[in-house]
Amino acid sequence: MKKLKVKSQYEGLRVTRNDMRVGKITFDANTVKEEHYQNYYDLGFTEIFEVIEEEPKKEIIVEDKLVKPKTKRPVRRKKKDEE
């Protein structure tokens, strides 16, 4: 998993780009939240960010094999009419 961090030389700055698809895009390091960094990185602000690779955490999944078998429901029998 990768994490993005603003480079120290861009902290506190406002960078504006002109994109043909979207128009003017402004990245303000003071107001943009960290969860939105990936959006700006994808829009071409790659030189502003440092990419930090994090090692994935190993998860151990244990499946419980002691599953009770489904019990069959008793069948209803029709009552016979007495004659």
Residues 41-60: pLDDT tens digits? 998 899 999 999 877 778 88
Domain range annotation of the chain? 2-53
**What are the angstrom distances between the C-alpha of 48 and each of 30, 42, 45, 52?**
13, 12, 6, 13
Q: Per-residue pLDDT averaged across 33-45, rounded?
A: 92
**What is the DSSP-derived secondary structure letter of residue 42?**
H
Residues 2-23: pLDDT tens digits? 899 999 999 999 999 998 888 9
CA separation for the pair 50, 23 (Å, rounded): 25
Check: CB of residue 42 under 8 Å from CB of residue 2.
Answer: no
Check: CB of residue 44 under 8 Å from CB of residue 22.
Answer: no
CA separation for the pair 17, 57 (Å, rounded): 36
